[in-house]
Structure 1
Amino acid sequence: MKFRFCWLIFTLIGLSLTSCSQPKSSQEIAETVNKSLVLIYYENQGGHGTGFIVPGKKGVCTVLTAGHVVKGYSLKLQTYQDKQGHTTDTIQTSPNFDLAVVTFKSAGENCPYPSVNFGDSNELKVGNKIYIYGFPVLQNEDLAPEFLEGSVSRINVVLTEGYGINYTAQVSVGISGAPVLDASGKVVAVHGQAKDKLPRGIPIQTYLANQSWENQPLAKADYTKLEQLLAAGKWKEADGETANKMLEVAGRKTLGLLRWEDVENFSCPDLRAIDRLWVKYSNGRFGFSVQKQIYQSLGGTKEYDKKVWVAYGEALGWKKGEEWLVYSQLTFSTNAPSGHLPAGPLGVRVLFWGSIFFYRAETCKA
């Protein structure tokens, strides 16, 4: 009898585990997931995105969304379950993927909103049914989530910004950051930006395997304007904005100069953020990391070496013949030598882009 009882227990456990992965009706999935949905909207301006509650730290509720939903915005959050508004506590974006995690304070130690269940995006096959649940932009209508059905159309090797799944579905603006669910109602991807009108997402395994960025310090400054200038190819204006932001981060904006100790202690998250933008919009031609590689290839180290510094200036096009160029003589276009930008106003550049700066860039791995 005891043996039969144990057998029954294990059978029930097995059935329970098996049932967790069984297909559910779309209504069952929607009713479960809508308790975890979060509307992400922007303070003092229009526009919004979608997020959803995931497991996180004690004392806060953790919301996973797409990185482009939060970058450059002042956010407000509203949980769909109770229509409550929440003030953001932290915003952290992945340095490599179009993902972001936003938190807001919880009244108790545990978040009162249920987190979603994660599936295995590695198990997805072309043709599998998927659902997307998010907040579309609908004119003259209250914001409410829409439950969309589709199917996997392509499985990619993980591409730029982490994209790895394409699917068919009638998505619209506002659903970015929404959970992509499999037939059992488990999250298998984060919906991102369409490319060539094809909806696509970042596999949830990419998020789970790269969560270390959530614990990284945040950049101190807002680089929205810098990104806009770089995207528009306004290289001179972007160079000036870069210098302004770095002075701001170092607390030296009033004096307009950086000391050696300012460079040596410069914020790594800000250094990386600026560098990524320059590298991205110049197609790898400009940026601190590009300058660092050139400097090191010439034998440059933390220690000042006049011979190396002169060769470096010549390689970047900052020095021609016996003369160092003044700021107005620099070339603010992609026709400039590799690493020519960012340069900064001449007075800042002498202190700021000195050999010690490359030591800092190496420390930060920019």
Structure 2
Amino acid sequence: MRILILADEFFAAREQALLLRLEVGLADEGVRVLHAIPSAARSYAPGELVSRVVVYNPPRWQFAVGPTARRLLRDATNITEEPGHGLDIIHAMGGSSWTLAAHLAREARIPVVFEVWRSGLSERARAIARDSSVQSLFISPDPSIERELRLASLPSAMIRLIPWGVHPSLDPRPPRAPDRPFSAMLVGTGRDSNAFARVLDALASIVRAYPLMVFCDADAARRASVFHRAKKLDILKHISLIAELEGRRDLLLAGDLLLQPEARGEQRSVTLDAMAHGMVVVAAADPKVSYLVDGLSAICVSPDAPDAWSSAIRKLLDTPALADALAASALQFVRQQRRAYDQVRAVLEAYASLTGTLAKVGAASA
């Protein structure tokens, strides 16, 4: 089976870890994976050890979608190891890739899988589902998104619930050295500037009482005007901006706390990775994200409570035993419910349902 994973720029940059886990898992099961990545995100392409990479220029106008699809299909076919053996499935990752993915599927006359990674995409999914020229399947990583798709009248046969998975750490997290400041990783898109402002307001009093450094994604900081807010609060020296922080998991997972201010119904593998590596997650309560379970996998903060962020963070810094217990609980949660192997197995079964082949998944962990 040959799969073309088509990622848009956001997914290519922010979800490198998720894409790599999926591609490695599929390769383990004998699937040939091609990874199509936008030219602007070329530096985020995975190594070609498990997948071949083809670069494309996203079409800026509707009339350019068809030619782009044909060019990408030609390039993908040219780099396959067996000339004449075409692709079997397109897997679109990121909403900006959906239109191009549908055109690719029509050109190649093969099925297409759409990853519905956030709330609010159900109307677009319904429009595609009604197009009889495209054989479509929609993967929902969360039950809330699955419900949205069903409410949009998508046929049940077109929907698969496949939660994202991670690799839980097998090694105990080393204790923080007494002379090292606490570190908090502030993540999100920055599109909800009020949500970021609430967290910064809480941090303004905390950094004066505790040794705490805050690292924030540079693009999110720009969108949310973090610099101006931090300057006004006189906490600039406590904040460091990191380009593509969410994509740099090695750096991010070295932090003590993960702060997620936005509740936008978005699935973010960075939060699952934080849980899987012993970080403590403090997040805005989001009923559309099922892995945020207050007291079990994270501390979920109500956006309506003015002092909620300050209270939650102070409690964790004041009570290391509480932080340790929550980290252990979150790690157990992902071990039981969010394994990468389970995601790969379910994705492979979804592919098999479209191609009419029998999915055989090995016992080795993906």
Same fold (TM over 0.5): no
- Higher CA-based Rg: 1
Answer 1 or 2: which has greater helix percent: 2
What is the TM-score when the length of structure 1 is the normalising length?
Answer: 0.26
- RCO (CA 8 Å, sep 6+): is it higher in 1 or 2? 2
Tell me the TM-score normalized by structure 2: 0.26
